[in-house]
Structure 1
Amino acid sequence: MKIRFSIYWKYVFASGFAAATLSCSNTKFLKEGQMLYAGGKVKIENDTISKKEKNELQSALEENLVPKPNSTILGLRPRLYFYNIAKEPKKDKGFNYWLKYKVGEKPVLLGDVDREFNRKIIENYSENKGYFNAKATYDTVSKNKKAKVIYTLKPGARYFISNVKFQQDSSLVNREIQSLTNKTLLKSGKPFDLDVIKDERERIDTGLKERGFYYFNPDNIIVQADSTVSKNHKVELNVKLKENTPDLATEQFSIDKVIVFPNYNIRDVKRGKYSVPMNADSLSKYAYNDIYVIDPQHKFKSKIFDRALYFKKGDLYNRSNHNLTLNRLISLGVFKFVKNEFIVSDSLKHQFDAYYLLTPRQIQSLRLEALGRTNSANYAGSELNLNWTHRNFFRGAEQFKAAVYGAFDFQMGGQENAKNLFRAGTNVQLSIPRIVAPFRFNSSSAFVPRTNITLGYEFQNRTQLYTLNNFTASFGYVWKENARKEHDLKVIDITLVSPAKVTDEFRKQATTPAARRVVEKQLIFGPTYSYTYTNTMLPKTNTVYYKGTLDLAGNITGLVTGANAKKDKQKNIFGVPFSQYAKMEHDFRFYHKFTEKSSLATRFIGGIAYPYGNSEFIPFSKQFFSGGSNSIRAFRARTLGPGSFDPRTIEKGFLLDQAGDIKLELNAEYRANIYKFLNVAAFVDAGNVWLINADEYRPGGKFSKEFLSEIAVGAGVGLRLDFSILILRLDLAMPLRVPYYEKGDRWAFDRINFGDSSWRKDNLVLNIAIGYPF
């Protein structure tokens, strides 16, 4: 292909000229004698340390230099430019104030740099990393009213640890410290590093906290360094208790009494209404096993605290049980504030009482929600929800939730004669903060396991086509191993779909078996299990999220009724055919953070649903769908697939919901913050759904070895308005590869024509949604 550079050279030249002008124009705003600070650089002169060590030291030192120069983008300083061109505002509001002090950035001048202070930082940091003879100097290089400071460091040889000694004595606390030395962070042969020494003190403190030394502090440990006892740049470390360590810090404490105030209110304390019964007689009437629950009004059952509290009378104090108890009390969901105090009750026996001061949340709440929404299938709608929550339903921190709702969706354009949808229903959920089962379930997690029971009903009316009654019920358990791992097991999960009315118009339009299955009676029941792992809450550069789901329907019932056998007659329960299938889905996400304001998010979804026994097909509600604001955004919701099936062949005005038994999807999205609440994104989506069995009414829908050629690809850009309480997302996408075009002609690059209004209407898809897509 011949490229005509003559068409673009003037644009390239203009862009380069504009960049150079913007870069240089900031200096013209400087006063006489002022110089713009262009940053600091550290040069290390040393031939005895490795290149890797030198680079690590240089990066760390440059990171510690202050102040930081003005921010740059591709070598330019646009924020500084906006500050310079904006007029000084008369008030702390208005456009000029916003442009100058919110968008703009005040110039960082050479006069703002304390070079002597930075020199001392460089020397001190180097000494803390084992370069005891470090010496630094600095020089300033200036040109065109810009100045850079060059710091030269001569670190000398690095000192290494020759020996580590933990000083011994006869005290109890010292014996415990000696028992912790096998996992010390201070190793012979390792470089001297003050940060590692601080971590070692924290490690010892953590270990002692697990052994009853509640009042111990890392500052009670001193690590002495002696570089005179050996040659060749070696240092000997001596770890010991400080001479002035308080006696209380060296004592090992155990629990005397555990006292719970489940109705604590700080306002009552200030008003003098709060009192603590200190003598045994006044406490005895509140006793429950080994704890005391001060609840005269009996708002809470005492046994919920017996399950949540990990301290019992006579237990040696340890930090793990301390934190575990607080976390479990919070995860009950009924307390707004959880406060813990330890008060010495017997200094001779080294005992204290553990007090738990719990402030309840509002026990009942009623909330009315009105929602508006739109989707990429050209539907808009509204929903009204009335929710009632009781957080202590049976006085055992059980959460009972009841909701009634009504919603409608109507077509705004696109498909002609598409039918509007009305939904109304109710659902209730009882969440019990323990495992209700015939077996014993013990959990040492910081999160309280829960038993969930749900019931629901929904009436669905698609105008002029059909009405459906949907009944749902489930019983199961949710428990978390820790903050990263969660299990959700529904022992039984039931869905019953029953048509109330099917119109002649629907029967006339529903000419395919797949369309008619939408209004067939369906009974789906069986266990479902999902496992979730995530570390996205951690401040790491790379984080992951994974959720795996397994759904088994009618498997045991199929064995009992004989539905698993190859027979022509379908088995029913109460006159309704029950579904049999096995479904598995995996959702894996990977996030990479480039900077605090930019990141890459990727996602892979793979799923398969296989019908067997009593079922030839997967129920419509349990199939996979593709397209829409949280999927392949260049295709409207549920219009993509299966396989290379062409949805344009469907009669206009009929439902376009396309489903499959197999799903593959891959997404990648670059995210960047432009200004506070304003974020932008660029994304690419790829994937499709396929059928397990061939369907003569949807040719090309079956999964085959040609599946890679049937992958749809879309790309686009988006805006995210992050208002903290919600994230409003607008994504504009276009198809790059269309699977139902002729094979060999599915890439759509040569069809892109932004100047054609007809092309824009058919190919640019705007998705409006709440929250991130993944």
Structure 2
Amino acid sequence: MKKHLLLYLVTITLLLFSCSGTKNIPEGDLLYIGHQLEVNGEKVTKSERKNIENNLDGLIRPKPNRSILGMRPDIFFYNLAGDVKKEKGFRHWIKYKLGRKPILFSEVDLSYNNKIIQNYTENKGFFNVQTISDSTKRGKKGIAKYKVTLNHQYKIKQIVYPEDSTTIAKQITNLKKDSFLKVGEAYDLDKIKNERNRIDTKLKELGYYYFNENFLITKVDSTVGNHEVDVILAIKKDTPEKAKQAFNINSVYVYSNFKIDNDTLNINPNATTKYENFTIIGDEKLFKPVVFENTLYFKKGDLYNRTNHNLSLNRIITLGTFKFVKNQFKESDTIGNYLDAYYYLTPLPKKSIRLEALAKSNSANYSGTELNINWSNRNTFKGAELLALSVFGGLEVQVSGQNNGFNVYRFGGESSLTWPRFILPFKTHTASGYVPRTKAILSYEYQLRSKLYSLQTFKSSFGYLWKENERKEHNLNVFDITYTTSNGITDLYKEQIAANTSLEKVIQKQLIFGPTYSYTYTNSMLTNKKNTFYFKGALDLSANATGLLLGADDVTNPKTILGVPFSQFSKFEIDFRHYLNFSKDTKLASRIIMGVGIPYGNSSELPFIKQFFIGGTSSIRAFRARSIGPGTFIDTTNNTFLPDQSGDIKFEFNTELRTKIYDLVKGAVFVDGGNIWLLNEDTNKPGATFSKNFMNQLAIGAGVGLRFDFSFLVLRTDFAFPLRKPYLPKGEEWVIDEINFGNGNWRKENLIFNLAIGYPF
């Protein structure tokens, strides 16, 4: 079987390498393999020429078939599929997803590309550009050639804003302080367009609802100096009068149960509710007026502005209660220069049920599946509240590693109630485009680790979630309670406890309660930025006030609640990520994680579920899950299974170069490092305590991986190996010189295969 598979792979590889893409090219035509672009000009610096060249490269059409080491696999798959008549199926997928038709030289329009080059360079201030195009032939392949000669780039000498006495002209002139256009800078049509858009946006904030950027005209005078231009902004003469006028808000109407197939919008007085600044219209009184008070920004008499316009719409949409949201402004019939605002809202079905089948992987190197049944009730108490009930069951197994065979079975349920506002004893109103939320959760989980033990976990929390904007998010739980108890402890696990007493803390009863808070900032959604970031800081406090009130200061005789000792600690953790985007398909992703947990009062150590772990599929991938540390400690007992090593302090760093190999396949090269430590000394774990030498105790690994991106699922495979093992004798920690991929024993001891879902960070 293996021989047949190897023969198949070798055959496919040979076919791919032999595929230059020219086999089926029509007689008299050529395979277009790209273009060569040369940008010259003595009056322009080398860096400016290079920048122009890079931008023009992306504009020239068509794009040739992709080439990998001389192969063109997209042509290979296109031809392999043959004549496909159906618009779906496996062959259609091969032909049009993996494959692409050969791009012929007859499809290249040299004169069209000349115009593209001419237009682009003129738009950048080069008004006297010479462009020459040609072509060359290499066997059955053709290349387009473009030679561009740049002269002087024109600079802006003066910017003239509207000078008439109208109010709107004065408003535009007042906006010039923050202009994108600067005297002395190069003429750039894109900047001029952006400036018109900026002025339009600012005017929308000043009440000019009917104005748009097309009412602004830009004139350029290139006769004013030596390679200089005057940029003159003016309002078009045929601009409608109402576009020159600022508008205020008169009445606000909300159709709370709008049917999208309605032909008329007659207001039924019997189905109308007046509430402060709003008129709520609906056949049924589905929603309490407070819903709209908390989401709509416009009040009677307000000056129209685009910010409040968009914020109101965004808040209504993010309520998660409406299927369709439509907004319209109309001139008031009763008063001049005033607008009536209309909101047409189509509710989602009040109740729904959803069945989910999930594929999962976790930090302990377990992979598995989970089945969820979710029931939800929107607008539970007529205030757009969301009541959600779910039950789940799942199985997790370790594909490779010492825990293979110790499967984890989980089932449980959760109920949650979310209010689209802050539940507080005083009234609040946020200026964010996202509705703040109050959320209460109650959950139960039963976890069975086969051959070892079972755990029951009860959780309850009440807190607030709010976003300042799309980048900043806060999550504050006023109280967060966790109670864990164990049963079904097997003789095998008891034997392991006798050999390693630290395993007992896994099955001890745990009671944790207190506030938690996290803050998240990210701009990683900005795909056009070269540098993007993600930051999350978390604070977890347990029983601080309770410990103080009860006088908990003796860990040998801890205070209890209902017979269970409660945990007392403070825990801090930060997760910082940086993404350096070289191109659309290539980026360098880096991460640093730092955390510390400080037990005191009623506790000598953090509860097990709050401790830090390191190693595994999304951590240091060259080491088994949760097998590193703490410090230089290594468990030498002959365990049937690999215990979870944990610590009070964590430091981890990762960096990964990601690039696209083929449409669905992405590759990565990575380096991971870090360790965990104990805060207090443990005589059973020598070398585990944090010290000033912690940087000399880092585990480091490297590897390569493939990511198969199916859009709905990213399947990740990584092969990693250690570069530094902190538990080896001093001076022998670095093992780079021992790397030997051809040695079976080395591979067995050091090469780690990770299978996971999603990116590690």
Give the match's secondary structure for 1:216.
coil
After TM superposition, the score normalised by the length of structure 2 is: 0.89
Distance 1:98 1:388 in 2: 36
Match of 2:246 among 252, 260, 277: 252
Match of 2:574 among 578, 586, 594: 586
Which residue number in structure 2 is paired with residue 571 of structure 1?
559
Distance 2:699 2:602 in 1: 33
Q: CA deviation at 1:710?
A: 2.9
Q: Give runs of aligned pairs for residues 532-551 of structure 1, distance below 5 A.
A: 532-539=520-527, 540-551=529-540
Q: CA deviation at 1:444?
A: 0.5
Which residue number in structure 2 is paired with residue 243 of structure 1?
237
Q: CA deviation at 1:325?
A: 0.3
Distance 1:417 1:327 in 2: 48
Match of 1:161 among 139, 142, 156: 156
Q: Does 1:769 align with 2:756?
A: yes
Q: Give runs of aligned pairs for residues 319-334 of structure 1, distance below 5 A.
A: 319-334=306-321
Give the match's secondary structure for 1:266.
coil
AA of the residue aligned to 2:533: V
The change in CA–CA distance for 1:561 and 1:62 in structure 2 (over 3 A counts) is same
Which residue number in structure 2 is paired with residue 629 of structure 1?
617
The change in CA–CA distance for 1:718 and 1:534 in structure 2 (over 3 A counts) is same
Q: CA deviation at 1:293?
A: 1.3
Distance 1:97 1:387 in 2: 36
Give the match's secondary structure for 2:120.
helix
Which residue number in structure 2 is paired with residue 194 of structure 1?
189
Distance 1:703 1:340 in 2: 59
Q: CA deviation at 1:463?
A: 5.0
Distance 1:169 1:413 in 2: 77
Equivalent pair of 1:29/1:84 in contact (CA under 8 Å):
no
Q: CA deviation at 1:418?
A: 6.8
The change in CA–CA distance for 1:83 and 1:654 in structure 2 (over 3 A counts) is closer
Q: Give runs of aligned pairs for residues 92-111 of structure 1, distance below 5 A.
A: 102-111=97-106
Q: CA deviation at 1:99?
A: 5.7
Aligned residues: 745
Equivalent pair of 2:34/2:143 in contact (CA under 8 Å):
yes
Distance 1:384 1:494 in 2: 26
Distance 1:662 1:598 in 2: 33
The change in CA–CA distance for 1:665 and 1:414 in structure 2 (over 3 A counts) is closer
Q: Does 1:290 align with 2:277?
A: yes
Match of 2:53 among 55, 58, 64: 58
Equivalent pair of 1:418/1:655 in contact (CA under 8 Å):
no
Which residue number in structure 1 is paired with residue 412 of structure 2?
425
The change in CA–CA distance for 1:294 and 1:628 in structure 2 (over 3 A counts) is same
Which residue number in structure 1 is paired with residue 221 of structure 2?
226
Match of 1:560 among 542, 549, 556: 549
Match of 1:118 among 100, 113, 119: 113
Could you list the per-position Cα deviations for residues 363-403 of structure 1 after superposition, in whole angstroms to 9, with x for gaps in the alignment?
A: 22223344565779686655443322222121111112222
AA of the residue aligned to 1:234: E
Match of 2:29 among 20, 30, 34: 34
The change in CA–CA distance for 1:149 and 1:419 in structure 2 (over 3 A counts) is closer
Q: Give runs of aligned pairs for residues 492-511 of structure 1, distance below 5 A.
A: 492-499=479-486, 506-511=493-498
The change in CA–CA distance for 1:19 and 1:275 in structure 2 (over 3 A counts) is closer
The change in CA–CA distance for 1:91 and 1:466 in structure 2 (over 3 A counts) is closer
Q: Does 1:315 align with 2:302?
A: yes
AA of the residue aligned to 1:626: I
Equivalent pair of 1:376/1:628 in contact (CA under 8 Å):
yes
Which residue number in structure 2 is paired with residue 131 of structure 1?
126
Equivalent pair of 2:483/2:512 in contact (CA under 8 Å):
yes
Match of 1:403 among 374, 390, 406: 390
The change in CA–CA distance for 1:696 and 1:189 in structure 2 (over 3 A counts) is same
Which residue number in structure 1 is paired with residue 605 of structure 2?
617
Q: CA deviation at 1:761?
A: 4.6
Distance 1:394 1:711 in 2: 54
Q: CA deviation at 1:290?
A: 0.9
Give the match's secondary structure for 2:58.
helix
Distance 2:235 2:23 in 1: 60
Q: CA deviation at 1:501?
A: 6.0
Distance 2:371 2:47 in 1: 61
Give the match's secondary structure for 1:490.
strand
Equivalent pair of 1:375/1:768 in contact (CA under 8 Å):
no
Q: CA deviation at 1:327?
A: 0.6
Q: Identify unmatched segments of 5+ residues in structure 2.
A: 1-13
AA of the residue aligned to 1:46: G
Give the match's secondary structure for 1:697.
coil
Q: CA deviation at 1:760?
A: 4.5
Match of 2:340 among 353, 357, 364: 353
AA of the residue aligned to 2:118: E
The change in CA–CA distance for 1:652 and 1:80 in structure 2 (over 3 A counts) is closer
Equivalent pair of 1:376/1:766 in contact (CA under 8 Å):
no
Q: Does 1:299 align with 2:293?
A: no
Give the match's secondary structure for 2:691.
coil
The change in CA–CA distance for 1:299 and 1:87 in structure 2 (over 3 A counts) is closer
The change in CA–CA distance for 1:768 and 1:360 in structure 2 (over 3 A counts) is farther
Equivalent pair of 1:334/1:391 in contact (CA under 8 Å):
yes
Could you list the per-position Cα deviations for residues 52-93 of structure 1 after superposition, in whole angstroms to 9, with x for gaps in the alignment?
A: 33322333333322223333335x242366279648526457
Q: Does 1:339 align with 2:334?
A: no
Which residue number in structure 1 is paired with residue 706 of structure 2?
719
Comparing 688-697 with 152-161, greater Cα deviation is found at: 152-161
Which residue number in structure 1 is paired with residue 472 of structure 2?
485
Could you list the per-position Cα deviations for residues 163-213 of structure 1 after superposition, in whole angstroms to 9, with x for gaps in the alignment?
A: 222222233322322322222222222222211111111111111111121
Q: CA deviation at 1:350?
A: 2.2
Q: CA deviation at 1:429?
A: 1.5
Give the match's secondary structure for 1:227.
strand
Which residue number in structure 2 is paired with residue 701 of structure 1?
688
Could you list the per-position Cα deviations for residues 119-143 of structure 1 after superposition, in whole angstroms to 9, with x for gaps in the alignment?
A: 2332222222222233333344445
Match of 2:595 among 591, 601, 607: 607
Which residue number in structure 2 is paired with residue 6 of structure 1?
none
Give the match's secondary structure for 1:214.
coil
Equivalent pair of 1:82/1:99 in contact (CA under 8 Å):
no
Distance 1:119 1:195 in 2: 20
The change in CA–CA distance for 1:88 and 1:570 in structure 2 (over 3 A counts) is closer
Give the match's secondary structure for 1:470.
strand
Q: Percent identity?
A: 48
Distance 2:409 2:63 in 1: 58
Give the match's secondary structure for 1:323.
helix
Q: CA deviation at 1:624?
A: 0.5
Comparing 386-395 with 372-381, greater Cα deviation is found at: 372-381
Match of 2:83 among 86, 89, 106: 89
Equivalent pair of 1:376/1:768 in contact (CA under 8 Å):
no
The change in CA–CA distance for 1:140 and 1:412 in structure 2 (over 3 A counts) is closer
The change in CA–CA distance for 1:729 and 1:584 in structure 2 (over 3 A counts) is same
AA of the residue aligned to 2:424: A
Match of 2:353 among 346, 350, 366: 366
Distance 1:423 1:745 in 2: 42
Equivalent pair of 2:661/2:667 in contact (CA under 8 Å):
yes
Q: Identify unmatched segments of 5+ residues in structure 1.
A: 1-17
Comparing 490-499 with 213-222, greater Cα deviation is found at: 490-499
Q: Does 1:70 align with 2:65?
A: yes
The change in CA–CA distance for 1:305 and 1:373 in structure 2 (over 3 A counts) is closer
Q: CA deviation at 1:506?
A: 4.4
Q: CA deviation at 1:722?
A: 2.6
AA of the residue aligned to 2:248: S
